Amino acid sequence: MVSISGDLEEDDLEDIPEIKKYFMRIYTVLSKEIRDKLKQLDLDKVKKKKIKKELAFLSKDKQIEYLEELNKISYHKDNPKYN
């Protein structure tokens, strides 16, 4: 945990490692399209929440690719092929 005293200047905040790390991360907001695709997955809420966290750090193209792959895996699991 970081303790910030009242004497810190605004420029000093950027020198705190935890704050520096926070601002270096790239955050994205999931689009409505991605959120809708995620809702369609046959997964429980806990798994969907974990997937949301993973998706937040991917580009939109990679997010779509990731979800399509999950859909394929889910589909094949529910519909096994018998020879």
Domain boundaries in the chain?
29-83
**39-48 — which CB contacts under 8 Å span 24+ positions?**
40/71, 41/67, 41/70, 41/71, 41/74, 42/74, 42/78, 43/70, 43/74
Which of 29, 75, 74, 33 shows the shortest CA–CA distance to 52?
29
pLDDT digits (tens, 9 = 90+) for 30-82: 899 999 988 888 888 999 999 998 898 888 899 999 999 888 887 666 655 54
pLDDT on residue 62: 92
Strand ranges for the chain from DSSP E: none
What is the Cα–Cα distance from 34 to 44, expressed in whole angstroms? 17
For residues 25 and 47, which has the higher predicted lDDT (pLDDT)? 47
Token pair, residue 40, equals 């369609």
